[in-house]
Chains A and B, each alone.
Chain A
Amino acid sequence: MSDTKKKAGAAGLFTKLMRNQIFIPLAALLLLVIVNLIAGPSFFKITLGANNAGNMILSGYPITILDFGSELAILALGMTLVTAASGGQDISVGAAMAIAGSVILRVLCGNAGSHPETMQAPIIVAFLAGCVVAMLFGAFNGILVAYFKIQPMVATLILYTAGRSIAAWINNNELPIIKEPEFGYFGGFIPGIPIPTPIFIAAACMIVMALVLKFTTLGLYTQSVGINEKSARLNGLNPTFIKFLSFVILGLCVAVAGFIKVSRLSTINYSVIAKDIEMDAILAVALGGNALSGGKFSMVASILGAYVIQFLTQTLYRFKVSSDALPAYKAVVVIILVVASAPTVREKVSSMWKSRKVHAKEVG
């Protein structure tokens, strides 16, 4: 008797977990870990060694995933807000990252040609310039969506199409290269610190976002607007402004992500930098179980979703899936994950679980 009770309790816990939004990304993460562990226990090995600049740094799969997942995680923060508030997605983030990166490099190059021996401006100035420009482009998208009521995907299609050309134009079609190693610290390692800098930057962004959500009412407002705009307005909110704001915040995320990207190799390639990252960012939001039609969101789930995607990419590299088949594998895994995280499926599974429980009780 007590045994059944215990079982029911455990089942209850499971059902509760099943209903939680972060269950799917967590489960996916766990699954990827298991698959990788089965393939070789060296997976979690993290080693300390010197890099070519003479710094002691940590390396290993987990570090790599956290490192390269940084940009995606940062974008997922903003994309989650945009999705929640506007019920649509910004597909221009990759192009906007190219613009932000291009602006940063442009400021650093100053008038000294595209391959300056020294940076012509402090990095912080270049970064802030990138932020301002990216937020302006975010505001542009925001105005189209919030004030002109254009479908977000359609509105951001404009920048998606034109963004990379704008990025190239900013630098006169040159491909700037920054030679000073300091610039590379932000996409690589700061001397004396063994952990990749992007991990810190991403963590900082998450902390900032967490603080914003804690110390402002952004979360409540965004969700209210996303769920029921009319009602939100009658509660004194300004839905138009909140949607607009979400795009500007995404713009800031884009600038930070773009900064890491250009810093990684101290250069930019307009046509391929951050290519297709918008799709991964949207996917991260979806994998997190957030409704792409807006409304309630979980920031944690989106962030997990972002790392799941990076984990998946890295796993496929690790298993040396042939180049031709790579997109197909990714697509299959993604479909499974997205279907599994769809609310209807979760409902179904948890109700199946429950009916099994009831059945077990009857038999008992």
Chain B
Amino acid sequence: MNEKSVLEMRGIFKSFPGVRALQNVDFTLCEGEIHALMGENGAGKSTLIKVLTGVYEKDEGHIFLKGMDKEAVIRSPQDAQKLGISTVYQEITLCPNLTVAENMYIGRGKGFMQNWRKMNANADKILQSLDIPAKSTQQLSSCSIAIQQMVAIARAVDMDCKVLILDEPTSSLDEQEVEKLFGLMRDLKAKGVGIIFVTHFLDQVYEVCDKITVLRDGKLVGQYEIENLPRVQLVAKMLGKELDDMADIRSDSDTYVEKDGSAPVFEAQGLQSNAGIKPFDFYIKKGEVNGFTGLLGSGRSECVRAIFGADRVIGGTVKKNGKQVKISKPIDAMKNGIAYLPEDRKVDGIIGDLSVRDNIVLALQVLQGFFKPFSKAKMYEFADEYIKLLEIKTASADTPIKSLSGGNQQKVILARWLLMHPEYLILDEPTRGIDIGTKIEIQKLVLKLASEGMSVTFISSETDEMLRTCSRLVVMRDRKVVGELSGDDLTQNKIMSTIAGGEEHE
């Protein structure tokens, strides 16, 4: 074992039924470094991490940790924790019905007895030192997803770890929060902690990481010093091919612009739901792609949920092609040709135990009606068509969706709504937590659909994604629509200033 390394993984193999998730993968992490683990969905990042943290047992291979003569035996998350390996997962794995402090200390007590006061005090201290705006006694579910994520990190940080794994920790954080996290990561790095950072945000990798290990299709591509690997090359290595220029994707899809003058397909006035957003007006034209932007928690999801009837609508009117329609629940929206891909894939999107096929067919089936089930053959036809169209990586149409990687799950949900052939497709963070290749595929698809006449609302935390795809952006701040940008105003700076509160005018 190398002098400076805290963790060495050698020749790791792991298989699942029908999938070889890891084949002969090596990974080395040194003291005081931030090491990016990169790869497309299904490349094996999550599996490697789960092997390291004891969630999965490896089929073959060796793991060495600093300060141990022998191979480390990690059979359970508890083992990993004891060995100083802490993890913050992509999806929040805390208990929403416990308090913040309980979540930070759960499973760590020496016995059954807990000194609650001391525990709460300690938790508050840590939260303060990390500038996390949460109270120790607050119930976790009452915090926003971002705060919950940060609590998870706080928990890991407090565990005095040698190896800290951050699996997509930033996907639900806004920029300020990301900055805060990076500050924290640098602190820990200075203290000699080895950090494994899994993310899809290239910018973030180059901002904070020292080294990059790239995986592809369950195999190791290589380990690189950050300065020796320019972005384009990184992407190329991840995809296994040279990437088209990302800016290209818009070039073939300017067809919808001329429709600017036409009347809106959907139009809403004073729409308001019980999710706490201010009444807002809204319209979208045929073949238009628009977007909602704003900081996390600004209410952009709530707006589209109100349009779809996902939250209880408590005021306002919706018109379709100038005629008023009543949308009070999702099925009403679906009947009017509206489809909605929700933000939280795990909670609102997938039906985990059901097959890919059932997940794809579900929405159309519901629309079709209770007494008109599709035949098995028809379902397979639909499923196979979209698996092929969207290049969904799955063993078969019968595979449960939960065993797919995040990006492929997202594609299945996308397939579900595309199968419905909606007039208006709402995509709320469709690219969150999925690999870069898929992100671009989705963006291209959005533009293609729009050029075919579909209206699309596209929401993303990544502004440049929105800029690439949307022709009009609704800007939100504090649960209120504060502006609308289109044409030449669609620049990063303009968006920032609108979000921040229009200082530019002064």
Contact = CB atoms under 8 A, between A and B. Distances in A.
B363 A231 contact: no
A321 B370 CA distance: 49
A228 interface: yes
A323 interface: no
Interface residues of B, number: 29
Given A220-B365, A223-B354, A228-B352, A234 B373 contact: no
A279 B481 CA distance: 56
B363 A223 contact: no
A231 B362 CA distance: 11
B473 interface: no
Given A216-B371, A216-B373, A220-B373, A235 B363 contact: yes
A230 interface: yes
A215 interface: yes
Given A217-B365, A236-B363, A296 B353 contact: yes
Contacts of B331: 236-238
Nearest to A245: B370
Interface in A211-261: 214-218, 220-221, 223-224, 227-228, 230-238
Contact of B340 (A230, A234, A238): A234
B346 to A, nearest CB: 9
B401 to A, nearest CB: 10
Nearest to B308: A234
A88 interface: no
B327 to A, nearest CB: 12
Nearest to A237: B366
A142 interface: no
B66 to A, nearest CB: 31
Nearest to A225: B351
Interface string B308-350: 1010000000000000000001110010000010100001111
B367 interface: yes
A235 B370 contact: no
A235 B347 contact: no
A211 to B, nearest CB: 11
A295 interface: yes
Interface in B419-476: none
Given A221-B370, A234-B348, A238-B331, A227 B363 contact: no
A236 B348 contact: no
B351 A216 contact: no
B362 A220 contact: yes
Contacts of B26: none
Contacts of B334: 236
Contacts of B329: 233, 236, 238
A224 B349 CA distance: 11
A339 to B, nearest CB: 21
B167 interface: no
7 contacts: A216-B371, A217-B370, A220-B362, A224-B351, A224-B354, A231-B347, A231-B349
Contact of A220 (B342, B358, B369): B358
A231 B349 CA distance: 5
Contacts of B372: 217
B351 A227 contact: yes
Interface string A132-168: 0000000000000000000000000000000000000
A226 to B, nearest CB: 9
Contacts of B350: 228, 231
B362 A227 contact: no
A237 B348 CA distance: 13
Contacts, number: 76
B310 A234 contact: yes
A9 B377 CA distance: 27
A108 to B, nearest CB: 35
Interface in A283-298: 295-296
Given A217-B370, A233-B329, 12 more contacts: A215-B373, A216-B371, A217-B372, A217-B373, A220-B365, A221-B366, A224-B354, A224-B358, A228-B352, A230-B347, A234-B340, A236-B330
B370 A216 contact: yes
Nearest to B374: A217
Contacts of A296: 353-354
A234 B366 CA distance: 11
B352 A227 contact: yes
A231 B348 CA distance: 4
Most chain-A Cβ atoms within 10 A of its Cβ — which of B329, B354, B371?
A: B354
Contact of A235 (B352, B366, B371, B373): B366
B347 A223 contact: no
Interface string A197-218: 0000000000000000011111
B351 A231 contact: yes
B16 to A, nearest CB: 11
A233 B331 CA distance: 8
B347 A214 contact: no
A278 to B, nearest CB: 26
B366 A236 contact: yes
Given A234-B330, A235-B362, A237-B366, A223 B351 contact: yes
A218 B354 CA distance: 14
A217 B348 CA distance: 21
Most chain-B Cβ atoms within 10 A of its Cβ — which of A234, A238, A296?
A: A234
Contacts of B362: 220, 224, 235
Most chain-A Cβ atoms within 10 A of its Cβ — which of B308, B349, B351, B361?
A: B351
Contact of B351 (A215, A218, A232): A232
Contact of A218 (B310, B361, B370, B416): B370
Contacts of A217: 365-366, 369-373
Contacts of B342: 231, 234
Contacts of B352: 227-228
Interface string B354-397: 10001001110111011111000000000000000000000000
B63 to A, nearest CB: 20
Contacts of B348: 230-231, 234
B353 A215 contact: no
Contacts of A236: 329-331, 334, 363, 366-367
